Amino acid sequence: MSFSFKKAKKAQEVLKEKVKLTPLNREVKTVAGCDLTFLDPFKNPTIGIGAFVVLTYPELEVIERVYEVTEVEIPYVPGFLAFRELPLLLKTFRKLKTEPDVVFVDGHGITHPRGLGIAAHFGVITGIPTVGCAKKPLFGEFKEPCREAGCYEPILHPKTKETIGYAVRLRKNSKPVYISPGNLITPEEALQLAFKTAKGFKLPEPTRLAHNYLQTVRKGIIHRKFKEPEGKNGS
């Protein structure tokens, strides 16, 4: 049965009503970052790899890392990223022994045409505060932040003009990242956590370390997949 984007859109509209942009109701002692990649992103179905890294807060020391590999059949369509990636991220998340207080998701929170990017979707499903950290803008109006580290500009909803996120430059002259609340956190708290977890790189540390770990795992999988069997070529 083919995937129905019409039904997916309806699901987003329903789940969007469950998003709560309330102040954090817990002391943050751990933060996590997650990321996902595909062995062949232009093939469908393809093999997806998901990764989570959990850090202490505010020290930002790694205490746990997990990954998962599975087949992904749903194609990528802008605005529906969660339906392609979320099942694998949730499967990976359930392998964690430590439940993080906040999760940074590689993608958008409420800066989404229907207010439910993958970070918001993940937050609603898990009931854990989430922050969206996207590398490209998707929705909303904003000015380019200045070139200095620490500069940011609000992302405004085109109709309501409410602040739904921030374009943030965490490293001088690097490209900005797009921070938005996913669930159970406010836009201002999401921004502050992005700054407090930054260590001079383009990305907040949870997102950066999850990406780096994922690339290491991916290389290992590719190496094992294409490694020549012993005895070949006269050995």
Query: Which of 12-16, 32-36, 187-191 comes out lowest in average pLDDT?
Result: 12-16
Domains of the chain (ranges, CATH numbers): 29-224 (3.30.2170.10)
d(CA 182, CA 38): 24
Query: Which of 64-78, 105-119, 148-162 comes out lowest in average pLDDT?
Result: 64-78
* Residue 235 reports pLDDT greater than 50: no
- The type of residue at 43 is K
Give the pLDDT of residue 229.
Answer: 53
pLDDT tens for each residue of 4-31: 878 999 999 999 999 999 999 999 999 9
* Residue 228 reports pLDDT greater than 70: no
* Residue 232 reports pLDDT greater than 50: no
* Residue 59 reports pLDDT greater than 80: yes
The alpha carbon dihedral of 34, 164, 60, 219 has a sign of positive
Mean pLDDT, rounded, for 170-183: 97
pLDDT tens for each residue of 103-136: 999 999 999 999 999 999 999 999 999 999 999 9
**Count of residues for the chain?**
235
pTM: 0.92
Cα 189–Cα 132–Cα 3 angle in degrees, nearest 5: 150
Give the pLDDT of residue 125.
Answer: 97
